[in-house]
A and B are shown apart, each in its own frame.
Chain A
Amino acid sequence: GQNIDQPTEMTATEGAIVQINCTYQTSGFNGLFWYQQHAGEAPTFLSYNVLDGLEEKGRFSSFLSRSKGYSYLLLKELQMKDSASYLCAYMDSNYQLIWGAGTKLIIKP
């Protein structure tokens, strides 16, 4: 089956840190992706994890635990422009991306 879950909406304060979780269940796995999508725009690539551990890229970091079927995206020093939806997706054994419904992140001043 294709099961991937992430929270529908989260709220955080400008300058703070937020963690967006993603859980998945799959028999075939070829990597976990995070994308950012501003309202009315196309998704843009943020990060890719294929091995367990933390990948850091500026203010954004992504973590993967394959044994737990779990990933998170960590956003530090939040800025108003970070208000967007964050999409989690895993690549299955056929190299197709299976997408979560996205987490809408609201940043308050």
Chain B
Amino acid sequence: QKEVEQNSGPLSVPEGAIASLNCTYSDRGSQSFFWYRQYSGKSPELIMFIYSNGDKEDGRFTAQLNKASQYVSLLIRDSQPSDSATYLCAVDGDTDKLIFGTGTRLQVFP
């Protein structure tokens, strides 16, 4: 059973700080890694994807991948109250489906 693990949180950070969200996965064969943001009652919104070891930056977001440790993280710089949401980590399964973690709830307080 392929698994994706996330701390459910909530992770509380002050406005302007860096939020660090972490995810581990069980399948060493996984090749594609995604972060989705989900506001309460809404559908998941893709914010980052990464395929290779190392860092990938897009605006205030940085995705980090370490395949040897089976670990992927998302950093959000200059966190804003509008970033408050649940962040879902997703990993490709043995076919084209995605396997999701249960999500980490982020709260950014003013």
Indicate whether A and B interact. Answer: no
Residue ranges of B at the interface with A (Cβ–Cβ < 8 Å): none
